[in-house]
Structure 1
Amino acid sequence: MSGDTYSLDKQQLMQRTFDQMESERRETDFSARQKIALTCRILFDNGHDSGLAGQITARGDAPGTFLTQQLGLGFDEISAHNLLLVDEDLQVLQGSGMPNPANRFHAWVYRARPDVSCIIHTHAVHTAALSMLEVPLEISHMDNCVLYDEVAFLPKWPGVPVGNEEGELIAGALGSKRALLLAHHGLLVACTSIEESCLLALAFERAARMQLLASAAGAIQPIEPALGREAHDWILRAQRSASAFAYYARRSLKHHPDCLLE
């Protein structure tokens, strides 16, 4: 290789990497239904299982519609063929069964955030444990900086989120951020793609686990804001999201090849 890169500054090297990643980017040929099913299996394999609790939704092709899983099926049972297409009133348009009634707050988030294409809500155990302390998620490690300045906090539990009041409250608390920690409850991630939502949900639970471990040993020290934002922008790229999602998909498909059946 040429040694010309040794004369470049950090920003030039970062941009060079972004350009190279874009040229090497390979899109997967998974359908939206398959991506949702894969996300369910990926999250199940990475500590987000909580029985029948939690929902994953993604916008449908028609305005005011979204795909979601059937109530009564765990994340490890979701396949592309058993997803439901519902409207904002949670009426089933395609598929059989009923959606989780907590999907109502997803509809409120979609109404408030036209940029959001996929919402994930889980009760992952470390996130749930942190939520019991009524403290915000702290982002203080490079690996977690994909969430730097991206996590809102709802400090009081509004109860079971099946009413319009809870939908308004959750959508308002999320604001313009990509994630939300709900006290005494769990996490919410809302992103522009299924892949990004999946990866941020994984990062959220890992950050919560690290926070609990670190805080048991001492006071967590903050990172410099400028460096946090730099790491955020470095990690949160469509190219990286596509590559990382493909990696997790390969891992899950070794054990759950049935999830792709439509």
Structure 2
Amino acid sequence: MSGETFDLDKQQLMEREFAQMESKLPGAVYSIRQKVALTCRILFDNGHDSGLAGQITARGETSGTFLTQRLGFGFDEISAGNLLLVDEDLQVLEGDGMPNPANRFHSWVYRARSDVRCIIHTHALHTAALSMLEEPLVISHMDNCVLYDDVAFLPNWPGVPVGNEEGELIAGALGNKRALLLAHHGLLVACSSIEEACLIALAFERTARMQLLASAAGRIQPIEPVLAREAHDWILRMSRSASAFAYYARRTLKQCSDCLLE
């Protein structure tokens, strides 16, 4: 019977759609190693390339361990088979080579946040450019509301983040947020799933690009906080993240199916 939803209010309609998302949105089944490798390739394809800079990690099955890429490999060269499993002291447990020494601050974030399963740090171009202005990320568009009230800001650059002091500072600045803009540096994303972290990293760089474009044309206008939080919760659904990640994975795999090889 048609027209049965026309008397429902917005909240009822949103709950109805949430239920459908849980049962009908397509996802994809990949191992943790494959998800990390796909995330590296997806981010490379979407402007997060900066040579050998940046790290992507995901908690391992054993407490105090995480997967990461090998130092010397670009994001576009990562596969499930060349990832490293390291402990929180960055000692290699599985794989050949060494991790990026900057992974030390990942260990600090994992220690501080038991809810975090994946951390992404990149020097994406527009984010890096924005970081040079020492200004926080501004959320003022519907597409970017996944980051609304969820991005911390570290205004002081601590230098190369290979020391424990930098790790403690970055973990403290992140607090309970999902993302952090580091002045004169780049972005940090810390999420409860690899899929969510990948998508928020993509959203972060797009937001930075939009901010630079908009601010060059005029003054960015704020959006209504209640509506922004509504949009944040609407976008940030596990089923929606899984489906969006599957889309980006399909797009990337058209060019590099070898990245799934373990």
Q: What is the TM-score of this pair, normalised by structure 1?
A: 0.99
Measured after TM superposition, the shift of residue 27 of structure 1 is: 3.9
Q: Deviations over 1:138-192 (max 9, x none)?
A: 0000000000000000001000000000000000000000000000000000000
CA distance in 2, matches of 1:26, 1:44: 24
Structure 2 unmatched ranges of 5 or more: none
Structure 2 residue aligned with 1:236 = 236
Name the residue aligned to 1:161: 161
Q: Does 1:63 align with 2:63?
A: yes
After TM superposition, where is structure 1 displaced by more than 6 Å over at least 4 residues in a row?
Answer: none
Does 2:132 correspond to 1:137? no
Q: Is residue 12 from structure 1 mapped to residue 9 from structure 2 by the alignment?
A: no
- Per the TM alignment, residue 24 of structure 1 is displaced from its structure 2 partner at its CA by 1.2
Match in the other structure for 1:80: 80
Q: Is the 8 A contact 2:27 2:239 kept in 1?
A: no
Partner residue in 1 for 2:209: 209
Give the Cα separation in 2 of the matches to 1:35 and 1:214.
Answer: 33
Cα deviation for residue 196 of structure 1 reads 0.1
Aligned mates of 2:178, 2:256 — CA distance in 1: 28
Partner of 1:21: 21
Matched residues in 1 for 2:78 and 2:47: separation?
A: 16
Number of aligned residue pairs: 262
Moved more, 21-30 or 114-123: 21-30
C-alpha contact 2:55 2:122 (8 A) present in aligned 1: yes
What's the secondary structure of 1:120's corresponding residue? strand
Paired amino acid for 1:150: D
Letter in structure 1 aligned against 2:148: Y
Provide the secondary structure at the position in 1 that maps to 2:212. helix
Q: CA deviation at 1:29?
A: 1.6
**How far 1:2 moved relative to its partner?**
2.1
Alignment root-mean-square deviation, CA: 0.6
Residue 231 of structure 1: how far off its partner (Å): 0.3
Give 1:182's aligned residue.
182
1:107 aligns with 107
**Residue 48 (str. 1) matches residue 48 (str. 2):** yes
Partner Cα distance (2:10, 2:74) in 1: 45
When normalised by structure 2's length, the TM-score is 0.99
**Offset at 1:106?**
0.1
The one-letter amino acid paired with 2:257 is P
- Pair 1:38-2:38 in alignment: yes
Q: How far off its partner does 1:219 sit?
A: 0.5
1:191 alignment counterpart: 191
Offset from partner CA, 1:61-103 (integer Å, 9 cap, x none): 0000000000000000000000000000000000000000000
- 1:109 corresponds to which letter in structure 2? V
